[in-house]
Amino acid sequence: MKPSAFEPRSARPAAPVKNKPLRVARWRFYAVGMAMAAMVVALIAHVASLQVLPNADRGYQFLQDQGESRTLRTEVIPAYRGVITDRNGEPLAVSTPVSTLWANPKVLAAAVDRIPELAKALEQNPADLKARLERYSKKEFMYLKRGLAPQAAQTVLALDIPGVYEQVEYHRYYPAADVAAHLVGRTDVDDRGQEGMELAYDAWLTGENGAKEVLKDLRGRTVKELRLVKAARSGQNLALSIDLRLQYLAHRELRKALEAAGAKAGSIVILDVLTGEVLAMSNLPSYNPNDRSRNWGEGIRNRAITDLYEPGSTVKPWVVLAALETGKFKASDVIDTSPGYMMVGTKAIKDHQNYGALDMAMAIAKSSNIAMTKIAFALEPGTLRGMFARLGIGQPIGTGFPGEAVGSLPLFKASQRIERANMSYGYALNITALQAVQAYAVIASGGIKRPVSLLRVDTPPVGERVVAEDYTQQVQDMLKRVVTAEGTGRRAQAISYSVAGKTGTAFKAIGGSYAAQKQIGSFIGMAPADDPRIVAMVVIDEPAGTGVFGNGGYVAAPAFSKVAEDALRMLKVAPDNAKESESALASRKAAGDTAPAKPVPAANKAGSAT
């Protein structure tokens, strides 16, 4: 049937299509192939340029920087802290290289199963180490253990635990340990000064760190040192004034004295009269600066410089010095001390006994409170204070030592009679042992006051004249009488050298009043007596005995005797009176070298006179 012309075109059957083979134009094939080849060539060329030609592409520098940032490091070269020595070059503080182990917590956390192994090697608690690791989990640095011996550190590193690394530091070592600890001081774990001369001269001793570039592997271990960025500058050395031989001597004799007296604490200071240098300074209790694990408490204090006390009768030569200078008194003047006590207002000033009439020398030898009080009342109110101040009392010594105390030296009015009396025999003022030594050095040097130095002095200072030599010589002669059989300091006599000095005893103020059972006994003197080379002081704090058994002549003078004898020998000072001293010692024993069988009852503060 023939289709109608009116039927829709879509309804008509489609004409059959013949299949033809698919043909790709040859030029298109070659075009695609060439494009792909060009891309490969370009990629190879770029990679080659990055690897071989540094200037071919700025991407080279980027990739190089990225690689080096993972392997190239700048490390600190720790500076060497200066050495502290004694005056003869003997080391007192030196720095030794040690290893510090640290960890990258982010890396170490991936090896948490090895924490017990690491803790055992570090001698630490595994739980504590794991807890620390968790606290530092967001950081990239954590100390594991510091100050290890290099061999010990290598043992830990040999475990090859990821994230554990080593760095070299310096650790401070003190060869003299507790013997010189108070003067030398100590540093902390970061080698910063914390006490003593380590603190006072920290800037001088501290060097400047350097830097170097190193190549590290993926575990953070140094593979190669590439170049020095900046050389480390070592700190400067420091030579102290002390002689280590004398320091050991003072330390040993102080320990013996404290044990013999059953005392709480004490100090010994030895000063070179000619230069003002401190040749020895020992305090007990002490501490070992090599042991940072302990809290040493009061053992850290350098009592000779920082602790104040009322000096007692050691001020009496200064009172006589002031009296002679005014011209109101002469050495031969006699003072009546009968009947052994005197009233000042409602207070009784007492001597140990009725000494009767005493000249100036015997007033010092017997340590008469009454004689000193009468002298003080005869002088203008400010005279004693003026003399004491010129000798260095109540004034900064200027050693630069941390915590150096100045003390107090009040000015009393004429109406303050009991206060003026108290000052004349060593109360109502506060001083340090080092101030007392400096004051006696003025007498020993003929009236010249020299700066006290804790550093070695290469050129002795000229000093300043503060008192006429004639007066100091007279007082010096009086001090010789103190160490005879008739004086309070007979136990201070030395075998080979003449000595001169003064005993001191003072009750301690506790809670606003004086404790009769707590006192400080001291002896301060010079030797040889006629041409002094040294001034030395022994302070014994709270001896077990009271009365005579706790006074300076009993607990401190014997230590002075030994210190003076041995120190002068070490300094190669020629003996000046071996026979005389031996005779004096014999007479002393014949006269009774021991304390009375029964202690003298402790008096109030006005009765302490030794």
Q: Which residues are catalytic?
A: 313
Say whether 431 sits in a helix, a strand or coil: strand
Q: How far is CA 60 from CA 70, 71, 430, in A?
A: 16, 17, 76
- Asked whether the beta carbons of 81 and 136 are under 8 A apart, the reply is no
| CA gap 610, 326 in Å, rounded | 26
- Asked whether the beta carbons of 212 and 229 are under 8 A apart, the reply is yes
Provide the phi-psi class of 224: left if phi over 0, else alpha when psi is between -120 and 50, else beta.
beta
| CA gap 148, 106 in Å, rounded | 23
Which one, of 171, 234, 239, 172, lies nearest residue 206 by Cα?
Answer: 234
> What DSSP assignment string belongs to 76-100?
EEPPPPPPEE-TTS-EEEEEEEEEE
Which one, of 571, 596, 588, lies nearest residue 275 by Cα?
Answer: 571
> What DSSP assignment string belongs to 258-284?
HHHHT-SEEEEEEEETTT-BEEEEEEE
| CA gap 244, 260 in Å, rounded | 24
Residue 217: CA atoms inside 13 Å, Cβ hemisphere, count? 9
Buried b (16+ CB within 10 A) or exposed e, 448-471: bbbbbbbbbbeeeeebeebbeeeb
Say whether 560 sits in a helix, a strand or coil: helix
